[in-house]
């Protein structure tokens, strides 16, 4: 029997598709439903490695956690990782297959739709319900003819669609009405309702607008989700990096610890610092200013999808001098994956940038060679300095070889990982700061080197905090969504006879496009 399905589309990127999908997954999981998330095509530099070594969007990994399911490649069969404004790496079912520009990717889409539909069908055979997340907006009329993530997916798989809009940005009624009115009649027939996200204030003030929207479109507003601060769920893209994390409380010790994360143009897996933001008394901010990097107690150079190009960008901004000054003063610097590679003496890259041999920042004694094959894994080990157990994940083309310095971790396979010289730390492993005992030990060392009277909170649990936040999303769905209507959509599909809202877009010859 094929499972029920639903597509959560959005009026824009960052409208709330990811969190609503996760919330519905958690709500259904708490009801005992075997549910899985799905995103046919994801464009993100924030990814995750599954247990069997496949790379998927990190948002889908979080949604899988919300569903209490093991993340797998089928949940995000197509992942695009931009390396520039014009080129992206295509990751298909967890493994890279091509580097494409917009036009060559367009030609690849028919094959990708077939793969996406097969992945979705496989999930629907093994789960009771699949909650699908769209990408961007379903009303990108210039892209509709080869769409595989929004209405193209909904049409091919027979999915009812709900459209979510972010009222905090303003213009949500125009965005919802306009989204529907720019779809063809056949696409409109699948759009069954709207959800308003991030509302602040008295819902009674919103009621007249909701009634008018329903009158104009013939579709109900299925819920108004209130603004909730402090969720800090994994970012789908870089749009949320400009927002400072909400404080989780004052410091346990006498002073706070200020962390400056370099906002690289092609930053990847910036969620590595989320665990730091969770700590009471730790203030995390993203910046591209040298003065902020110099002033912080800890500077973090995160991962990058374009290591050599982002290294050049660092130099144009004077950030290389700021990091070097910190190292010379014995003030803490942490490099992760691409950031770690930049801290070395040399990078040999004929794969990602094609730049050949490039000088690194020279702050750690190591060299990096880019290999055609991407390393994907879920390594584990023990911190050499304190003995704390660490589990992590790795995603990189760059192979790092330290020539001296102290290793950070003894790996379970008998090797070592990472490098440290003085107050400069580096590792290819993502997620190490999510290990509570190691994070506390690391922060204590940072505070000591920074001369701060900061004490890590003893009871902070990253895993427990994430579970609590996913439960908040489940609560939002249960308390503020018309869950009975959602269940009807899952059981019966889109209601028949939904009215057409003009002007509409011309119908796409789907059979011809995907032949």
pLDDT, residue 214, reads 98
Q: Are the CB atoms for 441 and 447 separated by under 8 Å?
A: no
| CATH entry, 4-42+58-72+114-232+467-496, from 3.40.50.300, 3.20.20.70, 2.130.10.10, 3.40.50.720 | 3.40.50.300
CATH number of 253-457: 3.40.50.880
pLDDT, residue 106, reads 79
Backbone angles phi, psi at 83, to 5 degrees: -105, -15
The arrangement of strands across the sheet holding 409-411 comes to 389-391, 380-383, 409-411, 416-417
Q: Are the CB atoms for 214 and 220 separated by under 8 Å?
A: yes
Q: Which residues contact 244 (CB under 8 A, 6 or more apart)?
A: 284, 285
C-alpha to C-alpha distance for 325 and 302, rounded to whole angstroms: 18
C-alpha to C-alpha distance for 449 and 379, rounded to whole angstroms: 28
Q: Are the CB atoms for 155 and 186 separated by under 8 Å?
A: yes
User: Where in the sequence of the chain do the CATH 3.40.50.880 domains occur?
Assistant: 253-457
Q: Are the CB atoms for 21 and 64 separated by under 8 Å?
A: no
Active-site residue set: 337, 430
Q: Are the CB atoms for 159 and 5 separated by under 8 Å?
A: yes
Nearest to 41 by CA among 141, 107, 109, 143: 109
- Greatest CA separation for the chain: 71
Question: Could you tell me the two tokens for 161?
Answer: 């669609």
Nearest to 6 by CA among 128, 122, 131: 131
Q: Which residues contact 160 (CB under 8 A, 6 or more apart)?
A: 5, 6, 7, 154, 190, 192, 489, 490, 493, 494
Q: DSSP for 108-142?
A: HHHHHHHHHHHHHHHHHHH-SEEEEE--S-TT-TT
What is the H or E stretch that residue 471 is in?
helix 462-480
pLDDT, residue 512, reads 41
Backbone angles phi, psi at 106, to 5 degrees: -55, -40
Query: What is the C-alpha radius of gyration for the chain, rounded to an integer number of angstroms?
Result: 23
- Low-confidence stretches of the chain (pLDDT < 70) are 1-2, 102-103, 230-248, 509-515
pLDDT, residue 510, reads 53
Q: Where are the beta strands (DSSP E) in 298-391?
A: 298-301, 303-304, 333-336, 346-349, 356-359, 366-377, 380-383, 389-391
Q: Which residues contact 320 (CB under 8 A, 6 or more apart)?
A: 314, 361
pLDDT, residue 239, reads 41
Number of Cβ atoms within 10 Å of the Cβ of 110 = 13
C-alpha to C-alpha distance for 135 and 40, rounded to whole angstroms: 8
Q: What is the SS3 string spanning 418-439?
A: CEEECCEEEECCECHHHCHHHH
Question: Could you tell me the two tokens for 422?
Answer: 């003085």
C-alpha to C-alpha distance for 135 and 130, rounded to whole angstroms: 16
Nearest to 199 by CA among 229, 233, 166, 174: 166
Place of tokens 């706070």: 256
User: Where in the sequence of the chain do the CATH 3.40.50.300 domains occur?
Assistant: 4-42+58-72+114-232+467-496
Q: Are the CB atoms for 421 and 245 separated by under 8 Å?
A: no
Question: Could you tell me the two tokens for 317?
Answer: 């901004």
Q: What is the SS3 string spanning 207-241?
A: HHHHHHHHHHHCCCEEEEEECCCCCCCCCCCHHHH
């Amino acid at each position: 029997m094929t499972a029920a399905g639903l597509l959560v589309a959005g009026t824009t990127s960052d409208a709330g598709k990811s969190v609503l999908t996760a919330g519905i997954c958690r709500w259904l999981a708490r009801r005992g439903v075997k549910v899985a998330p799905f995103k046919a095509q994801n464009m993100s530099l924030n990814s995750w490695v599954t247990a069997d070594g496949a790379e998927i969007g990190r948002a889908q990994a979080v949604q899988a956690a919300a569903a209490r399911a093991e993340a797998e490649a089928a949940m995000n069969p197509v992942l695009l990782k931009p390396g520039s404004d014009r080129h992206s790496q295509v990751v298909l079912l967890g493994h890279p297959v091509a580097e494409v520009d917009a036009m060559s990717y367009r030609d690849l889409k028919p094959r990708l739709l077939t793969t996406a539909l097969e992945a979705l069908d496989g999930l629907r055979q093994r789960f009771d319900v699949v909650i699908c997340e769209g990408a961007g907006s379903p009303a990108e009329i210039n892209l509709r003819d080869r769409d595989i993530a929004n209405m193209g997916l909904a049409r091919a798989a027979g999915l009812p669609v709900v459209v979510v809009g972010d009222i905090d940005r303003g213009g949500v009624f125009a965005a919802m009405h306009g989204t529907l009115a720019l779809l063809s009649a056949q696409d409109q027939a699948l759009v069954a309702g709207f959800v308003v996200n991030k509302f602040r204030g008295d819902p009674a003030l919103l009621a007249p607008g909701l009634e008018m929207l329903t009158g104009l479109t013939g579709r109900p507003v299925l819920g108004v989700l209130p603004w909730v601060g402090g969720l800090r769920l994994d970012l789908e893209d870089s749009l949320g990096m400009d927002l400072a994390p909400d404080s989780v409380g004052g410091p346990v010790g006498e002073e706070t610890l200020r962390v400056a994360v370099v906002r690289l143009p092609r930053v990847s897996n910036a969620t590595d610092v989320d665990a730091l933001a969770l700590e009471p008394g730790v203030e995390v901010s993203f910046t591209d200013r040298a003065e902020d990097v110099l002033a912080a107690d800890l500077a973090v150079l995160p991962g990058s999808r374009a290591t050599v190009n982002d290294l050049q960008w660092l130099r144009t901004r004077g950030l290389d001098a700021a990091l070097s000054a910190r190292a010379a003063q014995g003030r803490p610097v942490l490099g992760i994956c691409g950031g770690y590679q930049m801290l070395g003496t040399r990078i040999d890259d004929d794969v990602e940038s094609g730049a050949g041999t490039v000088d690194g920042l020279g702050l750690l004694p190591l060299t990096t060679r880019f290999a055609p094959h991407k390393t994907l894994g879920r390594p584990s080990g023990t911190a050499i300095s304190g003995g704390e157990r660490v589990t992590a994940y790795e995603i990189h083309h760059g192979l790092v070889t330290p020539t001296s310095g102290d290793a950070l971790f003894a790996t379970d396979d008998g090797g070592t990982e990472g490098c440290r010289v003085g107050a400069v730390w580096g590792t290819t492993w993502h997620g190490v700061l999510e290990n509570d005992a190691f994070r506390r030990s690391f922060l204590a060392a940072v505070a000591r080197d920074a001369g701060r009277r900061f004490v890590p909170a003893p009871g902070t649990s990253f895993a427990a905090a994430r579970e609590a936040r996913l439960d908040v999303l489940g609560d939002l769905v249960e308390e503020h969504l018309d869950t009975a209507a959602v269940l009807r959509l899952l059981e019966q599909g889109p209601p028949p006879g939904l009215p057409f809202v003009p002007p509409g877009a011309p119908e796409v010859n789907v059979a011809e496009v995907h032949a």
